[in-house]
Structure 1
Amino acid sequence: MELSIILMIVGIFFIILSLFLRDSHKKVEKEVEDLSLTIFQETNQLKRRLKIVEEELMLEPNFQVAKKKPLPAQPRASQPVNGILVSQVLELNKQGLAIEEISRLSTLSEEQVRQILTTGGAV
């Protein structure tokens, strides 16, 4: 009799323990689901922001600036001009801004702005 009572008590203990373990698994599943949803939403938000920035800069995904050899009479620039700055200079010129204004807004020298405008962006 004593052995059967001990086995019944152990069985009841494990049943009660299994009820608590199921709840912890559900809690972990819920946390993982919430985390994956949050990551998915943040990824989509970043994609939307990137698309907006690309549209503002009017760049295509495979945008490349054609490279041209520097003219021998002109001193060579210390660093090549970034393609984004080139497109910005061209767009500001289309809007009718003066070279001095474009230079101030794009952080390029006036000579660099003139060079971009004369070459049409092929720097």
Structure 2
Amino acid sequence: MQWIIIGLFSLSAVLFLLSLFQRDSNKEIENQVENMSIQMMQEIYYLKKKINVLEEEFLMESNKLSEEEGTPTANKVLTRDDILSLYEEGYSLAHIADMTNSHIDDIEDMMAN
């Protein structure tokens, strides 16, 4: 009986040591997922920068066209999305009101809705 218990303990010790040296496949998968998420974050950041550049170019072109046509930008109907995009770009509400020739209360009302 003693030999069986000693044999089982020694077998468990050997198996424990083998498990320590066994390669962990989960770590490889975790590294792949981490690398993929980093790549996706970089691509998203690049796309956001590209969208901002395109939006700025579009705004500059639309301002040029409105100046060439002789219609002021105040005649353009402002939407809440336009104001939010300007606000997210870092413009203050007062600056947005000046840029659009609107009253600051109108801008605040549109932001509140």
Higher relative contact order (CA 8 A, sep 6+): 1
Q: When the two structures are superposed, what TM-score results if normalisation uses the length of structure 1?
A: 0.45
